[in-house]
Amino acid sequence: MISIAVAREFIEGLEFPATKEECARYAAKKKAPRALIDAILQMPGEKYQKADDFWRSYAELEAKLEMESKAKRQKRRLKGA
């Protein structure tokens, strides 16, 4: 997943409130990597009233994906043991 620091470059200047789709389109117009656009579309919530709401949802998705990744790695280790 694209780090928050990198993602900020592509979201900076976006006016809120904004829907998830508006956020993704804005990032795409700024030539964001496809991985960022996909992440935005997977974020919890459909509309963000302010930038803080957007970044909170982004961080939630980042944490969720990290937990899933750790669970997969652990499962593979257990299979190999």
Count of domains for the chain:
1
Cα distance from N-terminal residue to C-terminal residue, the chain: 29
pLDDT of 81:
62
All residue ranges of the chain with pLDDT < 70 are: 81
Q: Which domain holds residue 30?
A: 4-80
Tell me, what's the pLDDT at 59?
Answer: 96
pTM listed for this prediction: 0.87
Here the tokens at position 52 are 């803080």
